[in-house]
Amino acid sequence: MTKTRIRRLILLLVLLVFSSVFMAGCGQQSTQDADGGSETGDRSEAVDSTATLDKIYAFYDKVQLGQTKAEVDTALGVTAKEPMTDVFQYTDANGNGVMIGLSSVFSQDGSSKVVFNKSVEGLEAYLITLPDDKRVTDEQAQSITQGMTYEETKAKLGGDGYELSSTQGFEGKPEIDRVWMKKGISMITVKFSGPDGTDVAKTIVDF
């Protein structure tokens, strides 16, 4: 698989994540507007949402870049679907999921296919229920520029971003897409290159 095809596959995976966030947001927002909710229900939902987030990332974090599909199968313990060649979707009993992309480009022997990209699935249901104090303003989002470190970005946006995907970069540094929610279903996503603490913002999508 060439570098160009890999980049296209990465873009497709990220677009799939973005579209799922958008569509789920529309549906959830309509339901909330129609049904409303009591204060007790809101508190319960907040607790349940936190527990859900932990479960989402507990499943996602079992997958590491550089693993073979067999290693991922063992780590997750569920059967994968293959929506396209070398792309696999895993979903647990709670509906939490992770999508992986495989390529031999990043393997040590140059022939074995290993995970070069992973993206989280199921996060959208949590993101759209975030309270206002966990969202960022347009002004905060507009203050983020390319070249900022993750620490600088967190300081301006008030906290960690939610990881959407992680991709093995050609320079050996992982590239991680993180999202911060704004009002409604608007968001800012930033692609960082490098591990936490040394990574730098490369691509910013604000909508």
Is residue 120 domain-shared with residue 25, that is, in the same domain?
yes
State which residues form the domain around 191: 134-207
- Nearest one of 161, 164, 87, 78 to 122, comparing CA atoms: 164
Is residue 125 domain-shared with residue 141, that is, in the same domain?
no
User: For the chain, how many structural domains are there in total?
Assistant: 2
The CATH number that applies at residue 149 is 3.30.1450.10
C-alpha dist (Å) from residue 15 to 12, 85, 129, 140: 5, 17, 21, 24
Question: Residue 48: what pLDDT?
Answer: 53
Is residue 62 domain-shared with residue 42, that is, in the same domain?
yes
Q: What is the mean pLDDT of each run of 10 residues along the chain (207 residues)?
A: 50 50 43 43 48 91 97 98 97 94 90 95 90 94 95 95 93 90 93 84 87
Question: Residue 173: what pLDDT?
Answer: 83
Is residue 54 domain-shared with residue 34, that is, in the same domain?
yes
Task: Give the helix ranges, DSSP H, for the chain.
Answer: 3-35, 39-60, 69-76, 124-127, 138-142, 150-157
Question: Residue 207: what pLDDT?
Answer: 79
Which of 83, 105, 129 is at the close of a domain?
129
C-alpha dist (Å) from residue 19 to 78, 82, 185: 25, 19, 11
Question: Residue 13: what pLDDT?
Answer: 53
Question: Residue 199: what pLDDT?
Answer: 86
User: What is the token pair recorded at 177?
Assistant: 């897409």
